[in-house]
Structure 1
Amino acid sequence: MNFSALIGNPVGHSIGQDIYNSLFMDYGIDSMYIAIDLHRKNLPRFFDLSRGNIEGFNITAPYKEESIQFIDYADKIVSDTGSVNLVKNQGGKLYGYNSDYAGFMMLARKNNIDFSGKNVIIMGTGGAARTVAYSIMQNYNSNISIVSRNPGEKKIYGIATTGYNDIKEYDIIINCTPLGTFPDTGMPIPENMIHNGITGIDLVYNPSRTPFLKIVEKNGGIPVNGEDMFIGQGIETLKKIYGITVDYEKFYDIFHENLRSK
């Protein structure tokens, strides 16, 4: 038996291990997926040990950016975004991929979201935010603004980060922060700044309706949670690490079965 994992801090909200282990049983894969709540000081040692003891692993916040220094090879999207969230161990060499890109594009397709010609606000500046901005810039012609708690500290693809007070008119707002993830009830943006009739996307999938999305819906907007992004990157994970192709409907059914029991 081999094993794979999710690393991050925290990881208690994730249902990934239940989903992947269910799929392993269905496909007869002799493996186990575990979630590791990893402290930052243990990150280098984990990567060293993973070269001999693990098939591959996913990376979640807050380690998507700093993990790049520990891998041997990076795909183009990792190199372009500066964010890695999937690692495959091949003979002791660590190959890094960015499956968030595939996940976000699946979210856009499944929810019929067209970013073209839209004013888009991205909340957050971490690995997920970088990948979301990259995905939109590569596939659509949009006007993107990036909002940070510390505006002006850095640029993302030449876009200067701004603060809440700089938010003006927008069509779509995307929460790329962990705010609202179970059991947190925080909001990425003050309620009075959520305009009527906009599309609100939250990369959080647990709960399915975060406080942010509830306000979007109350204001007559379109709320979209992060489940399709999770499913898309999960399908990519299984393909890269185990070489199996799982269709959307099967992953969707197992996702919701496990989310209900969480």
Structure 2
Amino acid sequence: MKHYGLLGGKLGHSLSPQIHELFFKYTGIEGDYTLLETTQEDLPKRMEELRANYAGSNVTIPHKLHVMPLLDSITREAKAIGAVNTIKFDENGAEGYNTDYFGFGRMLEYNNIDVRAKRVAVLGTGGAARAVVKYMVDKRVGKLYLVTRDVAHVDKDFLKIAPKCKFIDYDGLAALTGDVIVNCTPVGMYPKVNAAPVTPEEISNFDAAVDLIYNPKQTLFLKQAAEAKMQTVNGLFMLVAQAVAAQEIWQGEKYDSELIVKIMQDLEQTI
């Protein structure tokens, strides 16, 4: 039996073990998945342990950046995003990937949202937005707007990922119309479940609304979009898809969207 796990700080509320256990159940693959709470100080020692005993690991806050110097190789998209959330251990060493990139893309594809040559607004410029923006650029988005509270102090790494993107503040969003609006902020999840990052009027200037938040299932942002008769997508498919993408890397196999939906439906019963 091969061993896998989640490397991070405080992991008590993580759904990762549940997702990967469902993956093992539905595929019949023998494996186990454990939570590996680790401080930054103990990260090098933990990595040695993983190299010796594990076939793969996911990585979450606060180690997505810290783990990168400890790897033997990093994929193109993970380098561009500047964060690793999946590691494969084999005879070639430890290789870092970013499956948030693939999870987000697969979620859009499953919901028939095509961003090529489209006008897209991304709310927030934190870590979650990096993979989203990189995917948009690779899919040749038409116009990309990054909406942030402080344009003057935005992370300049975004200009490396998306040199042609335009930064605007939330006041500037009111004048914007487009095809897709994506929430990459935590506004709408606990404890801000009764808040939305933008107004209903601003949301309704777009055709589709995507929220990376998956709990609650329908944030106020998505509720307001639904009331405007827009297509809405929450982040649960992405959460499962990025986990399945990690398993594809570890197992060397491709899995169809039916498996993602199966796992997602099981998860919905527990959230």
TM-score of the superposed pair, with normalisation by structure 2? 0.82
- Residue by residue over 1:200-246, the C-alpha shift from the partner in whole angstroms, topping out at 9 and shown as x without a partner, is 11112233212221122223322111233223322221111133443
Code of the residue aligned with 1:190 in structure 2: it is V
Identify if the C-alpha distance between structure 1 residues 115 and 29 changes in structure 2 by more than 3 Å, giving closer, same or farther.
Answer: closer
Q: Is the 8 A contact 2:116 2:142 kept in 1?
A: yes
Identify if the C-alpha distance between structure 1 residues 43 and 145 changes in structure 2 by more than 3 Å, giving closer, same or farther.
Answer: farther
Aligned residue number for residue 211 of structure 1: 220
Aligned residue number for residue 185 of structure 1: 193
- In structure 2, distance between residues paired with 1:177 and 1:118: 21
- In structure 1, distance between residues paired with 2:149 and 2:61: 17
Over the aligned positions, Cα root-mean-square deviation in angstroms equals 2.7
Q: Is the 8 A contact 2:103 2:240 kept in 1?
A: yes
- In structure 1, distance between residues paired with 2:111 and 2:220: 20
- In structure 1, distance between residues paired with 2:168 and 2:32: 43
Identify if the C-alpha distance between structure 1 residues 68 and 181 changes in structure 2 by more than 3 Å, giving closer, same or farther.
Answer: farther
Identify if the C-alpha distance between structure 1 residues 86 and 191 changes in structure 2 by more than 3 Å, giving closer, same or farther.
Answer: same
- Residue by residue over 1:49-80, the C-alpha shift from the partner in whole angstroms, topping out at 9 and shown as x without a partner, is 32223221122345434432232200111122
Identify unmatched segments of 5+ residues in structure 1. none
Deviating more after overlay: 159-168 vs 128-137: 159-168
Aligned residue number for residue 233 of structure 1: 242
Map 1:78-227 → 2, pairs under 5 A = 78-91=78-91, 93-153=93-153, 154-155=155-156, 156=158, 157-158=162-163, 159=165, 161-167=167-173, 168-171=175-178, 172-181=180-189, 185=193, 187=195, 189-191=197-199, 194-196=202-204, 198=206, 199-227=208-236
Q: Is the 8 A contact 1:9 1:38 kept in 2?
A: yes
- In structure 2, distance between residues paired with 1:184 and 1:53: 40
Q: Which secondary structure state, in structure 1, belongs to the residue aligned with residue 217 of structure 2? A: coil
What percentage of residue pairs aligned between the two structures are identical? 29
Deviating more after overlay: 156-165 vs 74-83: 156-165
1:256 counterpart = 2:262? no
- In structure 1, distance between residues paired with 2:186 and 2:40: 17
Code of the residue aligned with 2:52 in structure 1: it is G
TM-score of the superposed pair, with normalisation by structure 1? 0.85
Identify if the C-alpha distance between structure 1 residues 253 and 38 changes in structure 2 by more than 3 Å, giving closer, same or farther.
Answer: same
Count the aligned residue pairs: 262
- In structure 2, distance between residues paired with 1:106 and 1:41: 35
- Residue by residue over 1:28-64, the C-alpha shift from the partner in whole angstroms, topping out at 9 and shown as x without a partner, is 4332112345555544443343222322112234543
Q: Is the 8 A contact 1:51 1:92 kept in 2?
A: no
Q: Which secondary structure state, in structure 2, belongs to the residue aligned with residue 120 of structure 1? A: strand
